[in-house]
Structure 1
Amino acid sequence: MAYIFLAVAIVAEVIATTALKSADGFTRLWPSLTVVVGYGLAFFLLSLALRTLSLGFSYAVWAGLGIVLAATAGIVFYGEKIDLAGALGLAMIIGGVVVLKTLSGMSGH
């Protein structure tokens, strides 16, 4: 269950971060509410995941996948561009998360 909490926390954080751009400095109501609710849910679910998973592992996965998903959201929703170096960097982040999960003993289980 901890991995589900962590996964949903990451998605909630990425939704909140994506809405942050649309909130325009908290001048637009609905995107601003999405930011507040999304971050609140994200941190609540992360706290539940941390009951079982280690802090280092959880935060590394949170940050790594959050970066990849937020960059993808920027490309999809805001027309941001990615070059080869950027794509390689994102692939390396994904690789790091895979290494943590499959080869490292730091997950807390």
Structure 2
Amino acid sequence: MNPTMLSWAALGGAIACEVVGTAFLNKSVQFTKLTPAIISLAFYGVSFYLLAQALRTLPIGVAYAIWAGLGIVLTAIVGIVVFQQRLDWIAMVGIGFIVLGVVIINVFSRAGGH
């Protein structure tokens, strides 16, 4: 597999691990529950490792923007679906802008390494 594709796969894994880590962070109740806290830290560790691997071929600004942006969006979805949290319309508009930013980077920017 070509190195750029491996970097994109690593970035996808980093995003997924960050979202899982954040969900367990919520379950840890401010680190008062040991098992969810350890799971959270483990997933964050793997997420940072995979993000570092993605930086082999992807520019740091692009990789971080996508990692953070999609992490925010997916975490918001987990909050709604798993934790029954509600977002007002202003929050939804803001999340929409994040998605739009990620799309613009991936579709129109040449800095993305593709």
For this structure pair, what is the TM-score category when the shorter chain's length is used for normalisation? over 0.9
* One-letter code aligned to 1:93: I
Measure, in 1, the Cα distance between the counterparts of 2:26 and 2:113: 34
Say whether residues 1:87 and 2:92 are aligned partners.
yes
AA paired with 1:36? L
Superposed displacement of residue 83, structure 1: 1.9
Matched with 2:44 is: 39
- 1:102 corresponds to which residue? 107
The Cα RMSD (Å) is 1.1
Match of 2:19 among 14, 18, 37: 14
Q: 1:80-109, CA deviations, whole angstroms, 9 ceiling, x for partnerless residues?
A: 101222212111111110100110111134
Q: Which runs of 4+ in 1 moved over 4 A?
A: none
Look up the equivalent residue of 1:60 and give its one-letter code. A
Residue in 1 that maps onto 2:9: 4
Aligned identity (percent) is: 41
Q: Which runs of 5+ in 2 are unaligned?
A: 1-5
Which moved further from structure 2: 9-18 or 73-82? 73-82
Deviations 1:18-75 (A, max 9, x none): 1111101222122112111100100000011000100000000011101101111111
Q: Which deviations, in whole Å up to 9, do the C-alpha atoms of 1:3-27 show, x marking residues without a partner?
A: 1100110010011011111101222
Please report the TM-score for the alignment, with normalisation by the length of structure 1. 0.94
